Amino acid sequence: MQYRTLGRTGIQVSPYALGTMMLGAIGNPDHEDSIKVIHRALDAGINLVDTADFYSDGESEEIVGKALHGRRDDVVLATKVGLPMGRPPGAPAAPVPNTSGASRRYLTRALEASLRRLRTDYVDLFQVHRPDPETDIEETLAVLTDLQREGKIRAFGTSSTPASDIVRTQWVAERRGLARPRTEQPPYSILDRGIEREVLPVVQEFGMGALVFSPLAGGLLTGRYRKGQAADTHRARFGFRHMVDPRRLDAVEALSVVAEQAGTPLRHLALAFAVTHPGVTAALLGPRTMEQLDDLLAGADTVLDDDVLDQIDAIVPPGTDVGPLDVAYQPPAVTTAALRRRPMAERTVAQ
């Protein structure tokens, strides 16, 4: 592994990181097998492990905590917080009050819970999983600054945050004398290049690290999803619409030709693409099994020349997304109709 500096934190991380969303009930429920997957990644030179309290409702963090026993000092440990936690089976869609978000009350309590599950007294990187429009950004920055000064976190970052919000957060931190986010974790793949337009340039401008997730486009770029064929995979059972989007499947067909001509599996080409952008620090691998991890690691030394990158650009132009990615963040103004419409009583009809 050729290690890279995580933004301007001085922390050295591997260009491929281990994402653990699929280790736990929603992916691999076998704790011992999942621990072996983590150990295999560490033995291969990966030193950044990324998890979240939301993954299998804390189970992923528990698995990571067990796996890092005796190896904690060798690992850059990152977790995320903010998505709804503790919702019992069959509970209504609305989250239980004060079990999500980025308020001082919740972040403080959530970090303590994560530390217990991870069996450690600090995390290297504490990330806000999604923007929280209900909480003043100054409050969020203030509590994260306090947690950093207490030594419970070494650095903090954001995830799935629009470029304008990243800029606003940096400005508020500077003007209020608060610590600032050092990283951003956005989705990024050959099929999802929208962050090249604004997010990555902003991240670079402020000296932040970028840990990109879903470099295989949720599995579409593994080579197991082809147009006109039903994929029998674990992720296919999630029902994501982007997995059957004909526009994305057409792009996969074209990219498969490029990969074949380059003499590399499509999944290896996709991973190499994700870490080629100078604004990207590391790409998160999300294996469910040892076999999947070993296959991805086999392509860790793949390097794409300019000719291959030009062919990719011709299929998916820089700065564009091929259809929507279901797991991508959508701001409330897009998802909530009431925020785009005046109340009926205030509407007027043009004369």
In the chain, where the domains are located: 4-346
- H-run or E-run covering 211: strand 209-212
**pLDDT at position 125 over 70:** yes
Q: Give the pLDDT score at 231.
A: 61
User: Which DSSP state fits 28?
Assistant: B
- Residues with catalytic roles: 55
The pLDDT assigned to 342 comes to 86
CATH architecture of structural domain 4-346: Alpha-Beta Barrel (3.20)
- Percent of residues, the chain, with pLDDT higher than 90: 79
Q: Which of 58, 286, 127, 155 is nearest to 66 (CA)?
A: 58
Average pLDDT in the chain: 92
- pLDDT higher than 70, residue 211: yes
| Confidence at residue 239, expressed as pLDDT on a 0 to 100 scale | 58
Least confident of 82-86, 91-95, 322-326: 91-95
The residues with which 183 forms a beta bridge, in sequence order, are 157, 209
Beta bridge pairs of residue 49? 18, 77
Long-range CB pairs of 71-75 (<8 Å, 24+ gap) are 71/42, 72/120, 74/42, 74/47, 75/42, 75/47, 75/48, 75/49, 75/124
Distances (CA, A) of 9 to 5, 166, 216, 271: 7, 17, 27, 24
Q: What is the mean pLDDT of residues 99-109?
A: 94
The Cα–Cα gap between 115 and 20 comes to 16
How confident is the model at residue 85, as a pLDDT?
84
Mean pLDDT of 324-349: 83
Least trusted range by pLDDT, from 143-147, 192-196, 300-304, 324-328:
324-328
The span from the CA of 310 to the CA of 7, in Å, is: 27
Tens digits of residue pLDDT in 9-62:
999 999 999 999 999 999 999 999 999 999 999 999 999 999 999 999 999 999
CA 13 to chain CA centroid, Å, is 16
Residue 73 has pLDDT above 90, yes or no: yes
Q: Please, where are the H alpha helices in 90-194?
A: 104-118, 137-149, 163-176
Looking at residue 250, what is its pLDDT? 95
Which run of H or E residues covers position 267? helix 266-274
User: pLDDT at residue 228 above 80?
Assistant: no
Please give the pLDDT value at position 242.
76
**What letter represents residue 46's amino acid?**
I
